Structure 1
Amino acid sequence: MITRRRFLVNGSLAAFAPRTSSLFAAPVVTPVVVRAPSGALRGESVNGVVVFRGVPYAEPPVGPLRFLPTEKITPWKGERDATKFSAAPMQHKLLEVPHSEDCLYLNIWVPEGSGPFPVFVWIHGGGFTDGYAFEPMYYGTDFAREGIISISVEYRLGVFGFLDFEHLLGEQYAGTANNGLHDVMTALSWIQENIGAFGGDPARVTVGGESAGAKLTDILMGIPSAQPLFHQMISESGGAERVWARAASAGITKGFADIWQKQSGDAIASVKTAAGASLIQAQQEFIDTWPQHFPLRAEIDGSFIPRLPVETIAGGSTRGKRLLIGTNREESAIFIGPHPAKDATAIQLGNTSVAKFDAVYQKYKEIYPQLSVEQRRIRAVTAEEYWIPSIRVAEAHLKGGGSAYVYELEFAETSGKFAGDAYHSLDVGMVWNHPHKQVADAGSEAALGKQMHAAWAAFIRGETPAAPGLPAWPQYDEQNRSTMIFGYKASTESRVEQGPQAAELALWKETL
């Protein structure tokens, strides 16, 4: 069984090499220099797409800047090499790529030509503790070939990005539970100031992500100071519930401090200078022993995040913006296993208590008598973690004066451990036009993926999301709840449903 504490979105995805012009021809690579306000960057053109890797957008958060709010990058002199990826953020998983606290970089895929091009900014997933921006799945070559600048962003993870050290180290460290969000916002500010030099249109920036990246996107929607930095949003398996109240955050910090002092034998102030690997080791023991799911989260501090993000969104923080949001039907199959042996526990719940969950789950048999016990449990945990939080974001956004397109992925692979389930992360390869190849129905997945990729590209360009073979996708409203079902009945067919899972939605709304 893969628990969500151990799961890495990136680890669930097959690696894909960048495409070449033919099976045997070597890629044509030529150097390209762009002179941006931050400084000159030397990237390379590869078969018609210009790529800049490892572009710094902030000062390295190392040494005396460890745990402190993000500082904008100081412009550099001369040409900076941008042909190699940076290190991944510090994390527990042993990666085949280097990882470092010096991780605040982004990667840019640019169409050849003069633009102005729309911009898609991608925030990777990984539970706020894992993942990296240059996973081959996120290579933006296909989006660039369709006239879209694609940017993937690195941000601080774990205790470096989502733990409130003010409780331990003093006022200088106020807001450190939101460092990861500050990192992303600093990257978005860099894009506003610099993307014009690459042919990008700073007035057409779409921010999006999957899993933790989608949750960060949805939380950004509820941060007033973030609103000038993007113009529309894409959320895949997200929700804006993953925040702590300040009182809860203090308890989390104390829990980590107890583990740190037990492991190191040092005073708590030693976290400012200790080896990063030691902090990650303490972080992992803390996560493994803490009784709640994903203890490292952003924090409602009353100013930067003034209140629960869905409340701010409903109040109009994203008024006039467009949102594309959705989930996969059996997201949680990948975390609790395809044949779960016991009921949900706190370790598997992200947004509510076991008692509240059980009050809902007990009624699932009434609304889904045709499902097996294991499938009902997967559906219920999926609703608690992803589907209901995403619907809450969509409906808050509508109430606040925005518009939304809602989808659900129902397509399920026919081979492999999770055959029959539209599991968490399955949609990512489709959206990036990098579907899995080593499955029995690879052709079907690739065909549906081309439609999803085209629909996402249309949305990023500012159009109605559409693709050849897809039915017209109407905007979502609370009365009709029009939802695009991708891969209806696990096929390549898609259709629009009005009010899907109405009884399940009503059950959750009644309880919560």
Structure 2
Amino acid sequence: MTATETRRTEPVPEGPRVRIDAGELRGLDQGTVHAFRGIPYAQPPVGPLRYRAPQPVARWDGVREATAFSAAAPQNKKYTLIGFREYQPTSEDCLTLNVVTPARPAGVPRPVMVFIHGGAYLMGSSATPLYYGNSLVERGDVVFVSINYRLGALGCLDLTDFATDVRPIDGNLALRDQVAALEWVQRNIAAFGGDPGNVTVFGESAGGNAVTTLLATPSAHGLFHRAIAQSSAPELTVDAAVARGRGKRVVEILGGPEAIDTATPEELGRAGNQLMGELNREQSGVVPYGPVVDGALLPEDPEVAIAAGRGADVPLIIGTNRTEATLFTKMPGMGKPSADRVAHSLGVELAAADALGAAYPGYPSVASLNRIVGDMMFWAPSLRIAQAHSRHAPTYFYRYDFAPKVLDVLGYGATHATELMAVFGVYHGVTGWVVGALGDRRVAMRVSDGMQRDWITFARTGRPAGEWPQYNGTSRATLVIDDRNSIVYDPSAEVRRAWDAFEAARR
């Protein structure tokens, strides 16, 4: 018998098992952690369930393998890269989540951290290696959950005007999916050693928008107890009339209502891309998808609901990155920003954009225009959410300024999504050695250690570690995260006042 044949006859180690409400799961033993992947939290939304709210999972017999990620939601293939020339499969059957938990038994129930990925509601997957969560679990003794949800036309397009008795259609499907995933956590996370009474929901970009939207979603209240919104884009949440108009236009592009059921995900994606092109000819930077203020699942605009005290009164961390927009303006085909293009993005005449730009040093330099675009999408609306929420619950605001030298050399700085590398601890791995090529790996690891400590402590206790004063509309205390953290009161005050005046004039 050869050595190879000997190896083939050795028994495969038994993976960890967990019994949940739908049946038994077998996961992966990764040494210090156990991972359970591709767990369905709702029935596959296919066939007659394509445009319906998520439905309960059917029970299964025996042991279900939970050792591999399931398909990502339908999207362009280029957005599903998960390794060298390796792409995550996509399918409408995508309503799954993943759980990572410490391998050692829990003495007491552990805090739970539920991550919602970003991607403009057009792209993204919980299978992205950045989002594995092992580092948070190992460092924080927490249970980590990451979710998939429907994207694009299948998750965010409002087609309710085309509902019939034969073909019922529900709206706000991506938001409904997120609520269903949080309900699954409440029912099942104790089986993984997690505490259903201590759940933190956190997300970045569109995932951050999901967090600020969930704060104002009544059916989500009580499903989570702390919230972290990283680079939330609050204005992705849209008015019902606007959403219905976009839905009607996509149906026109498809050729009529009969195509709603027969269109493939690829055809729906192309129709959505055409809609996005049309919208951007009217106003730059418009993303056609997002949660809808439908008067039912989401009764009112989150900013309005939060300001009025009708949001979830849970502790909140919210913040943005210093140079958010450089990621977008450096994308192929985007070109350098100009004052005219910024005015187009703002939906105003050039004179109004110039009045706002006067608060930015060097306007209309490329750096100042990039800053305006980033502030428009992320910083200014996040400040409004922070101010509104701080009147009703503990709120902590941050600005992420840290950029490894390699990002500065490339002209990105602390751009959009770069804080994720710190939150998920990747600077301690191979990425850290790449960063270290220019000599700042230890600094990057220190920044990462600090963010993880704050995020984990917040998930455990409802307040960050260390000295981080609560945000309010008077002091506006902000944690500036850099190679050395600092507390700054009302940073960029002149710019903030300019945005306040701009918004007041626009409304």
Is TM > 0.5 for Structure 1 vs Structure 2? Answer: yes
1:100 Cα deviation from its structure 2 partner = 0.4
Q: Is 1:214 paired with 2:208? A: yes
CA RMSD of aligned residues (A): 2.2
Q: Tell me the secondary structure at the aligned position of residue 59 of structure 2.
A: coil
8 A Cα contact 1:360 1:508, kept in partner: no
- After TM superposition, the structure 1 = structure 2 runs for residues 59-458 of structure 1, keeping only pairs within 5 Å, are 59-94=43-78, 95=80, 96-111=87-102, 112-114=104-106, 115-145=108-138, 146-170=140-164, 173-176=168-171, 178-261=172-255, 267-291=256-280, 292=283, 293-318=286-311, 320-337=313-330, 340-343=336-339, 345=341, 349=345, 353-355=347-349, 359-365=352-358, 367-369=359-361, 373-399=365-391, 401-416=392-407, 418-419=410-411, 421-435=413-427, 436-437=431-432, 438-439=434-435, 440=438, 441-458=440-457
- TM-score (normalised: structure 1): 0.86
1:230 Cα deviation from its structure 2 partner = 0.6
Determine the C-alpha separation between the residues in 2 that align with 1:276 and 1:332: 30
Determine the C-alpha separation between the residues in 1 that align with 2:189 and 2:273: 37
Q: Tell me the secondary structure at the aligned position of residue 193 of structure 1.
A: helix
1:74 Cα deviation from its structure 2 partner = 2.3
1:97 Cα deviation from its structure 2 partner = 1.2
The one-letter code sitting in structure 1 at the alignment partner of 2:470 is Q
1:57 Cα deviation from its structure 2 partner = 0.2
The one-letter code sitting in structure 1 at the alignment partner of 2:397 is V
Alpha-carbon displacement from aligned partner over 1:63-113 (angstroms, at most 9, x marks no partner) = 111111111212322211101110010002333110000000000001121
Determine the C-alpha separation between the residues in 1 that align with 2:124 and 2:402: 25
Determine the C-alpha separation between the residues in 2 that align with 1:67 and 1:209: 25
Q: Tell me the secondary structure at the aligned position of residue 222 of structure 2.
A: helix
Determine the C-alpha separation between the residues in 2 that align with 1:214 and 1:30: 37
Alignment length (residue pairs): 466
Comparing 72-81 with 41-50, greater Cα deviation is found at 72-81
Determine the C-alpha separation between the residues in 2 that align with 1:225 and 1:315: 17
Alpha-carbon displacement from aligned partner over 1:28-49 (angstroms, at most 9, x marks no partner) = 9651111112211111221120
Determine the C-alpha separation between the residues in 2 that align with 1:201 and 1:50: 17
1:319 Cα deviation from its structure 2 partner = 5.1
Aligned pair in 2 of structure 1 residues 227, 381: CA closer, same or farther (>3 Å)? same
More helix by share: 2
Determine the C-alpha separation between the residues in 2 that align with 1:277 and 1:374: 36
Aligned pair in 2 of structure 1 residues 344, 193: CA closer, same or farther (>3 Å)? farther
Determine the C-alpha separation between the residues in 1 that align with 2:67 and 2:52: 29
The one-letter code sitting in structure 1 at the alignment partner of 2:448 is G
Q: Tell me the secondary structure at the aligned position of residue 206 of structure 1.
A: strand
Could you tell me which residue of structure 1 aligns to residue 5 of structure 2? none
Match of 1:477 among 472, 476, 486: 472
8 A Cα contact 1:63 1:273, kept in partner: no
Could you tell me which residue of structure 2 aligns to residue 486 of structure 1? 481
The one-letter code sitting in structure 2 at the alignment partner of 1:130 is M
Aligned pair in 2 of structure 1 residues 162, 395: CA closer, same or farther (>3 Å)? same
1:463 Cα deviation from its structure 2 partner = 4.9
Which runs of 5 or more residues in structure 2 are unaligned?
1-11, 81-86
Alpha-carbon displacement from aligned partner over 1:287-322 (angstroms, at most 9, x marks no partner) = 233335101222111121111111111222345410
- TM-score (normalised: structure 2): 0.87
Aligned pair in 2 of structure 1 residues 371, 359: CA closer, same or farther (>3 Å)? closer
8 A Cα contact 2:363 2:369, kept in partner: no
Could you tell me which residue of structure 1 aligns to residue 31 of structure 2? 47
8 A Cα contact 2:326 2:412, kept in partner: no
1:250 Cα deviation from its structure 2 partner = 2.1
Determine the C-alpha separation between the residues in 2 that align with 1:368 and 1:113: 54
Q: Tell me the secondary structure at the aligned position of residue 318 of structure 2.
A: strand
Aligned pair in 2 of structure 1 residues 277, 239: CA closer, same or farther (>3 Å)? closer
Determine the C-alpha separation between the residues in 1 that align with 2:213 and 2:410: 30
8 A Cα contact 2:179 2:219, kept in partner: no
1:341 Cα deviation from its structure 2 partner = 4.5
8 A Cα contact 1:483 1:498, kept in partner: yes
8 A Cα contact 2:356 2:502, kept in partner: no
The one-letter code sitting in structure 2 at the alignment partner of 1:213 is G
8 A Cα contact 1:413 1:420, kept in partner: no
The one-letter code sitting in structure 2 at the alignment partner of 1:209 is G
Determine the C-alpha separation between the residues in 2 that align with 1:51 and 1:179: 27
Q: Tell me the secondary structure at the aligned position of residue 388 of structure 1.
A: helix
Determine the C-alpha separation between the residues in 1 that align with 2:320 and 2:13: 38
Determine the C-alpha separation between the residues in 1 that align with 2:290 and 2:228: 21
Aligned pair in 2 of structure 1 residues 463, 270: CA closer, same or farther (>3 Å)? closer
Identity %: 34
Determine the C-alpha separation between the residues in 1 that align with 2:151 and 2:318: 24
Q: Is 1:511 paired with 2:495? A: no
8 A Cα contact 1:38 1:194, kept in partner: no
